[in-house]
Amino acid sequence: MEHNYKYKKNELIDKGTYASVYKGILYNNIIPEEFLEVAIKELDTEEEESFNRVVWTLEKNILTQLKEHINIIKYIGALNEGSVFALIFLYIPRNLRTFVNTIYDSYNDFSFYIKSFIFQLLNGIKYIHSRNIIHCDIKLRNILVTDEFILKICDFGLSLSYDVNNVSDQNFNIQSLWYRSPEVLLKTNYDFSIDIWSIGCIFFELKYNQILFNVEDEKELFLKIIQIFNIEIENIDSKNIGLYSAINNSIEIKKEIKKLPKFKSLCNCNNRQLYDVEDKLISKMLKFDKNKRASANEILKNEFYFNSIKIESEYS
């Protein structure tokens, strides 16, 4: 970012593990009347400066690889002044979590919005993956919604460049628990398909207005996943030490599984009339085996479902 720009923080709008996000104003020092409403992501100064510099640089490098795309938050630039490391984005006031919580029941035909949102989300992820980047933290809070109902994927703090030839030292401190894929949970090799799993969870949540994996810890998530997919516990490969004893104590697990609701009952949790094709698309995204999961491009080719949405080129 050019040195003649300065920003002013206003209210705090979100706080994560290593950073805080503020609503603010970006000023032009040379032309004071020129300003822009922005979101400012500042790394917490309590962390070591060397750590912040690495985190800031990694996210900045990811963002510079992503050119302007209608379904990705507009990145304006980065600032580093002393111990302050900041990333500047165009401000959008609400995320998809807020949207769903406040107006889910306000629309008579929310199914159209679901279709549009999933289309846009897949369109954005398709582009991100085409740049060899995995987002690694797709969830409702990391998807912004404009007044025109355009989705913007944001928060690339956990994102990484994927190299198929270098998967031996992967980071597993990624993905929020409710949207965490089996391979990240079990600490086995992962790829772009972890983002597709997260979108499948979001698709289910938007359709049924219910969080699919509303769990408190990794063990509970593990129990729900193997119950839903009817996985033989003995055949599961895991490098997650915390789950090792749970996986091997199959008798205890099977008792707990019997107490969980069946997947079909979850799918019928309300009376909203939607198309069966949605469940089929969700199931293509939520495959336990990552190699059987559909890609964003494959899902977008379902012309029957997306026929009422603008053509892909208009969202590119």
- As a whole number of angstroms, the distance between CA 22 and CA 1 comes to 18
Amino acid at residue number 310:
K
Residues in the chain: 316
Burial of residue 297 (number of CB atoms within 10 Å: 0-12, 13-18, 19+): middle
Amino acid at residue number 22:
Y
Pick the catalytic residue: 14, 137, 169, 191? 137
- As a whole number of angstroms, the distance between CA 273 and CA 289 comes to 30
Q: Is 137 a catalytic residue?
A: yes
Catalytic sites, residue numbers: 137
